Amino acid sequence: MALPRAPQQFGAPSRSAEAPLRIGIVGNTRYADLRGALAETARLAAAHGWSLAGGEALAELSPVPLLPFDPTQIDLLLTLGGDGTLLRGARQLNHHEVPILGVNFGRVGFLTAIARDGVAEALTTVAAGGHRLSPRSVLLASVRDQAGVRLSERSALNDVVLHKGGVARVVRFQVMVDGEPMGPVSADGLVVASPTGSTAYSLSAGGPVVVPTIDAMVVTPICPHSLGMRPIVTRGDSVIRVEPLEPRAADLLVSFDGQDTAPLGAGCALEVRPAPWRVILVRFGEPAFFPRLREKLHWGDLSDRGV
């Protein structure tokens, strides 16, 4: 029996504790202890009858053979690394709403659920149904030509960013929200973020923090060349259209979660809308977004830390 596909924001999923887990693994090979984490996971899998799947890079580090990675044949995705590894894993699920258990090997790990030393306990808890699922909205971005033909399309859990390629220069573009012009913008770029991504690039660019359960999008200019242009929070089902304006409409790139890019050619436009699927993050205990802000981003009054 698999973990339920229907997201449950609070409470444990109704899953039989006897059902063996089918675990897919995505890892960052730059971390020295990845081999140790794979060995620990393999020992647990052997003890509980779980199956493990992963790509070729992980197969070379794993002490046991891994099944081919297929998002349709796993119940849980285990990401070993940091937020970037979790984002990469979400993309490899290819729209399938498989719960993701993120393990933090790095510094911040805002999206991950546990630290490196909690792998065994977390997997045992998930197998017993003692976790909860946190669904997160996903952005679907497309590049379209002047005739409206879709040239490329990609998804992003955090953000979609329009920026200049090559030499850093000001970009000028028109932004429309559901067909209504927000106005021309001169800036170093533009971030369209999901609530989950509001604490990433958008926050660094001066955007607001949005609680991830809110249905919204954030449109944040990067270093706008006007005091009259500030971040905007729109409805979660909005369609954001960005049209570059001459004479600075050449050599533009669109980045997706900071990991993948696509060119935005002359005369083309970028459209961002909500995806029809969600990314499901595994969480433990009661919801704790604001404590996470304080712990990971040092949010709020820091007098208790001697600051």
CATH number of the domain where residue 147 is located: 2.60.200.30
Tokens of 123: 């997997």
Q: Are residues 184 and 296 in the same domain?
A: no
Residue 9: pLDDT band with limits 50, 70, 90: very low
- The domain of 185 spans 138-276
- Tell whether 6 is covered by a domain: no
Q: Are residues 256 and 217 in the same domain?
A: yes
- Tell whether 11 is covered by a domain: no
- What is d(CA 242, CA 7) in angstroms, rounded to the nearest whole number? 32
- Tell whether 10 is covered by a domain: no
Q: Are residues 210 and 251 in the same domain?
A: yes
The predicted-structure confidence for 199-213, as pLDDT tens digits, reads as follows 999 999 999 999 999
Q: Are residues 87 and 28 in the same domain?
A: yes
Q: Are residues 220 and 269 in the same domain?
A: yes
Q: Are residues 248 and 291 in the same domain?
A: no
- Tell whether 230 is covered by a domain: yes
Tokens of 3: 């973990």
Residue 119: pLDDT band with limits 50, 70, 90: very high
Domain count of the fold of the chain: 2
Mean pLDDT of the chain: 89
- Tell whether 144 is covered by a domain: yes
Q: Are residues 56 and 180 in the same domain?
A: no
Q: Are residues 55 and 120 in the same domain?
A: yes
* Span 288-306, average pLDDT: 79
- What is d(CA 22, CA 74) in angstroms, rounded to the nearest whole number? 5
**74 CB burial (10 A radius; 0-12, 13-18, 19+):** buried
Q: Are residues 110 and 143 in the same domain?
A: no
Contact assessment for residue 76 and residue 24, using Cβ atoms and an 8 Å cutoff: yes
Residue (of 48, 53, 35, 69) closest to 125 by Cα position: 48
- What is d(CA 50, CA 177) in angstroms, rounded to the nearest whole number? 47
Residue (of 235, 173, 185, 186) closest to 210 by Cα position: 235
- Point out the residues that are catalytic: 83
* Span 169-187, average pLDDT: 91
Q: Which amino acid is at 262?
A: A
* Span 148-154, average pLDDT: 93
Q: Are residues 190 and 258 in the same domain?
A: yes
pLDDT of 300 reads 81
pLDDT of 32 reads 87
Q: pLDDT at residue 4 above 50?
A: no
pLDDT of 251 reads 80
- What is d(CA 206, CA 191) in angstroms, rounded to the nearest whole number? 11
Residue 126: pLDDT band with limits 50, 70, 90: very high
Share of the chain above pLDDT 90, in %: 73
The predicted-structure confidence for 81-107, as pLDDT tens digits, reads as follows 999 999 999 999 999 999 999 999 988
Q: Are residues 159 and 82 in the same domain?
A: no
- Tell whether 125 is covered by a domain: yes
CATH number for the domain that contains residue 55: 3.40.50.10330
Radius of gyration of the chain from Cα atoms? 21
- Tell whether 7 is covered by a domain: no
- Tell whether 14 is covered by a domain: no
Q: Are residues 51 and 110 in the same domain?
A: yes
pLDDT of 2 reads 40
